Amino acid sequence: MNKFIFVSGGVCSSLGKGVAASSLGALLEGHGLNVRMVKCDPYINVDAGTMSPYQHGEVYVTDDGAETDLDLGNYARFTSGPLSRANSVTTGQIYDAVIRKEREGCYLGHTIQVIPHITDEIKRRILAVAGEDPANDVVIVEIGGTVGDIESIPFIEAARQMIHEMGRKNAISVHLTLIPEVAGAELKTKPTQHSVKAMQELGIQPDILVCRAPVMLDEATRQKIALFTNVESEAVIVSYDISTTIYQVPLVFYEQKLEEIVLKKMGVEVRHADLSAWYTMMEKFSARRGRVRIGIVGKYMELHDAYKSVYEAIFHAGLACGVETELVKVDSALLDAASDIDTVLGSGGTSRVDGVLVPGGFGDRGIGGMVKAACWARTHKIPYFGICLGMQVMVIEWARNVLLWEGADSTEFTPDTAHPVVSLLEDQIEVTMMGGTMRLGGSETRAREGTLIHKAYGGGPIHERHRHRYEFSNRYRTDMLDSGLILSAFTPDNALVESVEWPSHPWGLGVQFHPEFKSKPTAAHPLFTAFMQAIIAGSRSGKHR
């Protein structure tokens, strides 16, 4: 069975199309179906890897080393199908492939056009995901952007062709819109009517509408929307605002039988849905007691999406440990300029934190503030979790403040430092192209027994994803070990240091990889859980206060 669901969006961006598509995926999985997710991004970059986090939020890395849109992170958190390079399609990739084929002479004699050549390449990629595994049942294709955007038209057109060619039993359209509330007036359906018209002009009649609204819509409003849009009123689903967590969205849709309507439209027999994992997760959400405050010391603080997977992973760990988690976002550049760090992070200030997390990042802005935060956590015995750059900062801080090597740094920030304790990976030296050339993707790590990292994984295998060009400098292994820094995990060939830990400290761990990409609300990541447990243990003993 190969069925296709195209999820598009209208009215405006940021309506939560990724969460809606993922939630539908979760519901269909609850019915025992094998679901695959695909994101189509209309931008011309080949992948998200060369964009600033401020442009497009976090770069999500897959096991096979693709640098993708952050919506793949949503798919990974809500659904369980494999995600790879194939699940992220961009205009850049499509044109790149078509132009290469043209140069190879694959289309000799033809004029290359958006229809059919670009649309055929889009369709080929979507069908390839479906065909990866004969057990695949449904492919949910999320089309980025808002209907009416020039850039997304070829993707909408490819969807139109697939719906036309396969028939409505095999391919349907789910369209997400907004029902705004005008101050002093009622909820407005007109933007939704216009958005559906925009879809119809492009040749697609949506089968199902998902309406973002501040509250549940009454029956009369749903019928009005149905009347104006040719959608059955039962297929007008409301994604009303919830005060709990985005992970309740699958259950909000389930109440309104979204997946039953989808399955009925596609002629699939509706089986009993098992959503127990989502109900259990919500029970844990309500049962949380107490609150811990995690100081995130990073450089892309204004945009929540820039560290999305890290923030989600913290929330998941809170669920697993039964505590509410509050994020205290600290701009590392401001921390660098602050004369007294204790007033920002410490008990003297308003932003007292129970743990510090320094996430990944690139470039030298704000590094001084991260080093200060690491020093503060180390000397005040506050749990500290360093991810990628956050681990490199631990090494720099140790070299400067314990080994007293003035000016010790990563060559990323000070190329001519006298103490390059973090330096370019050897296989990066010859690299000149910037796109997709970092150390990327999943690989195995071996932890030494008796270390925090070994304990967190329960001694089991460690397979995590990377995205970096710089690395702990091997020539300093002896100096670091002799001064007490714990080098706790390595690549299987022992060539690269994968994690470091502070001695005589409740919990100070830095990892070169990105564990945040593998955390789920229904299965928190063991490193985030261990970090949270250390924070809770510290708070209970009053150590951090």
**Rounded to the nearest whole angstrom, what is the least distance from the CB of residue 315 to ligand GLN in the complex?**
21
Is 388 an annotated catalytic residue? yes
Beta bridge partners of 140: 5, 37
**Alpha-carbon Rg for the chain in angstroms:** 25
**Rounded to the nearest whole angstrom, what is the least distance from the CB of residue 231 to ligand GLN in the complex?**
44
How far from chain centre, in Å, is Cα 213? 24
**Rounded to the nearest whole angstrom, what is the least distance from the CB of residue 428 to ligand GLN in the complex?**
9
Helix (H) or strand (E) holding 173: strand 171-178
**Rounded to the nearest whole angstrom, what is the least distance from the CB of residue 156 to ligand GLN in the complex?**
34
Q: Alpha-carbon distance 71 to 59, whole Å? A: 9
Question: C-alpha distances in angstroms, 96 versus 46, 92, 93, 126, 330?
Answer: 8, 6, 5, 16, 40
Q: Alpha-carbon distance 221 to 225, whole Å? A: 6
Q: Alpha-carbon distance 95 to 343, whole Å? A: 52
Q: What is the DSSP letter of 317?
A: H
Q: Alpha-carbon distance 150 to 103, whole Å? A: 26
CB of 125 or CB of 466, closer to ligand GLN: 466
CB of 389 or CB of 408, closer to ligand GLN: 389
CB of 472 or CB of 507, closer to ligand GLN: 472
**Rounded to the nearest whole angstrom, what is the least distance from the CB of residue 422 to ligand GLN in the complex?**
7
CB of 470 or CB of 502, closer to ligand GLN: 470
CB of 86 or CB of 487, closer to ligand GLN: 487
The amino acid occupying position 504 is S
Q: Which positions touch ligand GLN (CB under 6 A)?
A: 360-362, 388-389, 412, 467-470
The CB density around residue 541, as the number of other CB atoms within 10 Å, is: 10
CB of 236 or CB of 389, closer to ligand GLN: 389
Determine how β-strand 497-501 pairs with β-strand 508-511: antiparallel
The CB density around residue 288, as the number of other CB atoms within 10 Å, is: 14
**Rounded to the nearest whole angstrom, what is the least distance from the CB of residue 90 to ligand GLN in the complex?**
21
User: In the numeric block, which tokens belong to residue 265?
Assistant: 């439209």
**Using alpha carbons only, what angle is made at residue 322 by residues 320 and 324, rounded to the nearest 5 degrees?**
105
- Cβ-contact 231, 208 below 8 angstroms: yes
Residue whose CB is nearest to ligand GLN in the complex, by number:
360
CB of 54 or CB of 107, closer to ligand GLN: 54
**Rounded to the nearest whole angstrom, what is the least distance from the CB of residue 367 to ligand GLN in the complex?**
10
Determine how β-strand 67-68 pairs with β-strand 60-61: antiparallel
CB of 27 or CB of 367, closer to ligand GLN: 367
**Rounded to the nearest whole angstrom, what is the least distance from the CB of residue 23 to ligand GLN in the complex?**
29
Of 175, 454, 505, 514, the catalytic one is 514
54: exposed, middle or buried (Cβ count in 10 Å: 0-12, 13-18, 19+): exposed
**Dihedral over Cα of 101, 106, 108, 110: its sign:** negative
Is 514 an annotated catalytic residue? yes
Q: What is the DSSP letter of 204?
A: -
Is 516 an annotated catalytic residue? yes
415: exposed, middle or buried (Cβ count in 10 Å: 0-12, 13-18, 19+): exposed
Of 121, 316, 516, 525, the catalytic one is 516
Q: Alpha-carbon distance 24 to 202, whole Å? A: 24
**Rounded to the nearest whole angstrom, what is the least distance from the CB of residue 458 to ligand GLN in the complex?**
26
Q: What does 47-69 look like in DSSP terms, one character per residue?
A: SGGGS-HHHH-PPEE-TT--EE-
Of 211, 321, 375, 388, the catalytic one is 388
CB of 280 or CB of 437, closer to ligand GLN: 437
**Using alpha carbons only, what angle is made at residue 65 by residues 60 and 69, rounded to the nearest 5 degrees?**
25
Q: What does 474-506 look like in DSSP terms, one character per residue?
A: GGGHHHHHHTT-EEEEE-TTS-SEEEEE-SSSS
> Tokens 């299965």 correspond to what residue?
523
CB of 253 or CB of 300, closer to ligand GLN: 300
Q: How many CA within 13 A on the CB side of residue 518?
A: 16
**Rounded to the nearest whole angstrom, what is the least distance from the CB of residue 484 to ligand GLN in the complex?**
24
Q: Alpha-carbon distance 45 to 415, whole Å? A: 29
Catalytic residues: 388, 514, 516
